[in-house]
Amino acid sequence: MSNQTHDYRQRFFIQDSPVRGDIVHLADSYRQITAQRPYPNALQKLLGEMLVAASLLIGTLKINGRLSIQLQHPSEATDEQARLAWAMAECDHQGHVRALADWSGDWTNLNTADEALATLGKAGEGVLFINVQPDSMFGVQSEGYQGIVERVSNNLAECLTHYQQQSVQIPTVIKLAADGTQAGGILLQLLPRGNADINDQRDDDNNIDTLTAAEMLEGMTDADLFPRLSILTDTLKPEELTDLPAKEILLRLYHEEPVSTIDAVPLTFACTCSREKSASAIFQLGKTEAMAIADEHGGEIALDCGFCGQVYRFNKADIEMIFA
């Protein structure tokens, strides 16, 4: 198998039908992210799946902003059992990705993303949600959206597929895979067919009315197209998602269908940290407490970013300037 090294989201369409999809591949950015901390093997894989999922889902939205997938354990750790305290993975409309997680306990015997997700607790325990935050406009912060995702299983793709079908009410297939070095995934959706041909709506395919799956299928020339494509998509093996380029995946799955693509969107690791944001965090402490912390740490405060490893140092003169 080929060793794909660049990172992208590739959109595709089944011509003359309301079916579209995306394929995401991450390698360089994924390795850069997981190298920031000594993540257990299983957690590396879960973070890879989360990064791919965020990159797929933001492609279904027409926003300037970011989408994150977040996990949170409901309680504090009490023993040495493997436990995921929290995790988040994010992608913005420019294709910038980042992720971070905190964990505790012994993860030695855990090897898969599903096992990592299971450390949130039994079904119904732990919190899994999608957060969408549009960019501010004209200096005014836009209102965001948060959707709670039901943990129907310990498989992230199954949970997100269920969410899309039940909450968003768009028939969707999602497949995710990560091996610790590369990560990949595919999303297939059945969109409502309007009066215009669906392929003429590529730049506006998120401004759609919500219809039932039955209504969507009724408007299709080939009513069994989406069910058939769903079955084909489900045959993808994890190693195919992580190792194969999008073109080969599409050829293997849908070689009997008229598939068209547009230019792929490059995905890269990027962090939003800055010295200004670190200074703002110190300001929130108050001058007295900030100075006390500096005294305890050799005359400075050092703030490190968990996403990228950058360290921002502020000596007492810097702290005085923050509160000037």
* pTM (two decimals): 0.81
Instruction: Taking residues 292-317, report their average pLDDT.
Output: 83
The pLDDT tens digits for 96-138 are 999 999 999 999 999 999 999 999 988 777 899 999 999 876 5
Q: Which helix (H) or strand (E) holds 321?
A: helix 316-322
* DSSP-assigned letters across all residues of 9-57: EEEEEETTSSEEEEEEEESHHHHHHHTTTT--HHHHHHHHHHHHHHHHH
Q: Is residue 177 part of a domain?
A: yes
Residue 77 in contact with residue 85, Cβ under 8 Å? yes
Question: 296 and 208 share a domain?
Answer: no
Q: What is the CATH number of the domain that holds 282?
A: 3.90.1280.10
- Element counts in the chain: helices (H) and strands (E): 11, 14
Residue 79 in contact with residue 105, Cβ under 8 Å? yes
Output the CA angle 65-68-72, nearest 5 degrees. 150
The pLDDT tens digits for 34-49 are 999 999 999 999 999 9
Ranked by mean pLDDT, which of 74-83, 136-145, 201-210, 275-284 comes out on top? 275-284
State the total domains in the chain.
Answer: 2
Question: 301 and 159 share a domain?
Answer: no
Question: 140 and 169 share a domain?
Answer: yes
Q: Which of 114-128, 188-202, 265-279 is least confident? A: 188-202
Q: Is residue 32 part of a domain?
A: yes
Q: Which domain holds residue 168?
A: 8-269
Sign of CA dihedral 121, 125, 127, 129: positive
Q: What is the CATH number of the domain that holds 189?
A: 3.55.30.10
